[in-house]
Amino acid sequence: MLLDKVRTLATDFAVRQILHEGGQAARSYSAAISDRVRFYVLWRWNYGEACVPFDEARKLAQSCGLDLAEEWSRRGGMVKKEQEFVRLLGPHQREMEHLAAGQDLIDVLHHALRLWEKGDRAELIARLSKSGCGRSEACYRVAQAISECLPIESKEKKQLDGLLARRARLQKPSSTGLILCYWATRGYHDAPT
């Protein structure tokens, strides 16, 4: 019990440091992210894109309040067990249909990255708007932190950097973007232009 509390405190401190937070704002960003997001950020910070022995991954998951076996059993989850190792899946390794249905920040972010990669700006804006992530500072802090943890040749890093570079345009879409967003949120993908 005491060990769990120490791990939780250490995890919270590490996440605040990774997100470059200080003061009261730090607590609000850290509080805005789920245990799954904490786990994802800490994994990328500690291990990058590497496979990790099961026990090591289990300890990290436990410190974030997650059951690792439950997470890899989840349809469309973000971890995969490979014999005695565990791999954290990036956006390009996860199924699009599960990302589209996910509401957790990491699922929304991964879905946004896949939409950005496809060049589907209208659907991307709609997804970010509908989920609330588009205007969430916590979302962009998490994206930036993950990007900083990955090597320059990482596909995920390139996707994150591309999305972050267009942040202002995604938060304040053009009138055409607003019209496309309107149509996309109503299920019309062939909107008039």
| Residue 123 and residue 99 share a domain | yes
Q: Which of 70, 91, 112 is the last residue of a domain?
A: 91
Nearest residue to 98 (alpha-carbon basis) of 123, 75, 132? 75
Question: What residue type is 8 in one-letter code?
Answer: T
pLDDT-based confidence at residue 50 (cuts at 50, 70, 90): very high
Tokens of 182: 């309107």
| Residue 81 and residue 23 share a domain | yes
For the stretch 95-123, what's the b/e string if a residue is b when 16 or more beta carbons lie within 10 angstroms of its beta carbon? eeebbeebebbbbbbbbbbbbbbeebbbb
> What is the C-alpha to C-alpha distance for residues 109 and 141, in angstroms, rounded to an integer?
11
| pLDDT at residue 6, rounded to an integer | 59
> What is the C-alpha to C-alpha distance for residues 145 and 25, in angstroms, rounded to an integer?
16
Q: Are 111 and 76 in contact (CB under 8 A)?
A: no
Q: Which of 56, 91, 126 is the last residue of a domain?
A: 91
State how many domains the chain has.
Answer: 2
Q: Which domain holds residue 109?
A: 93-185
Q: Which long-range contacts (CB under 8 A, 24 or more apart) does 176-182 make?
A: 177/121, 177/122, 177/125, 180/121, 180/122, 180/125, 181/122, 181/125, 181/126, 181/129
Q: Which of 1-5, 91-95, 135-139, 150-154 has the lowest mean pLDDT?
A: 1-5
192 located within any domain? no
Q: Which of 9-13, 131-135, 152-156 has the lowest mean pLDDT?
A: 9-13
